[in-house]
Amino acid sequence: MFAHKKGWGALLGALLTLLVAPAAAQVIDTTNVAFVQTLSTTTSIPVGHAEFCTTRPAECRASSNPVAVMPLTETLWQQLQAINAHYNQTIVAVTDDDLYQVAEFWTYPNGYGDCEDYVLAKRRDLINAGWPASVLLMSVVKQGNGEGHAVLLVRTDRGDLVLDNQVGTIDLWSETPYKFIKRQSQADAGKWVDMIDARDMNLITAAIR
């Protein structure tokens, strides 16, 4: 069973304190602390994603009209929770070494998969449900033990939310115990950009625990 999920009211109460009346102004300040900042230039694409794009180029193309953030209604919030919980509960976590006998292989899970596979499945289902690809960003983070990990970063008008196979809750990026390294570009799903995360991770991890 998962840890209890944040209610809609609790989420809004926490995030509205960080944002400047987005519903009224209809202009989202993505330089706000609720959003992870990025460098303007592209960076290296993870090897696993590069290979994934070679076999599925249609899923790694530029967006002609990228959406910056998704307005997060209660219905969409429930959709995020349902898709996140579905894959977290039904996919058995297995390393690529054990499953495919290779160090890195990004693909859709078939009952089994590692962190990148969870992310790909959640991203696919959200796109099929009508979410724009430009707000659903595969992201590489570093855990407290130094190991790499992948999560889905969802850009909403309430901030950057994280869908993670290691926890049951959906949290604001800054409330997670990870160092954010890089993510997909919003303009082009086949390109990546470095993220700027200057937080003191020792303090962040201690506070979350």
Report angle CA 104, 156, 138 to the nearest 5 degrees. 5
Considering its fold, how many domains does the chain have in total? 1
Ranges in the chain, pLDDT < 50? 1-5, 16-25, 207-208
How confident is the model at residue 81, as a pLDDT?
98
Question: Residue 111 is part of which domain span?
Answer: 8-208
pTM for this entry:
0.86
Domain for residue 2, yes or no? no
- Tell me, rounded to whole angstroms, the distance of Cα 19 from its chain centroid: 20
Domain for residue 137, yes or no? yes
Domain for residue 20, yes or no? yes
How confident is the model at residue 3, as a pLDDT?
40
Domain for residue 72, yes or no? yes
Domain for residue 3, yes or no? no
How confident is the model at residue 209, as a pLDDT?
52
- Could you tell me the CATH number of the domain that includes residue 51? 3.10.620
Domain for residue 187, yes or no? yes
Residue 170 structure tokens: 């959906």
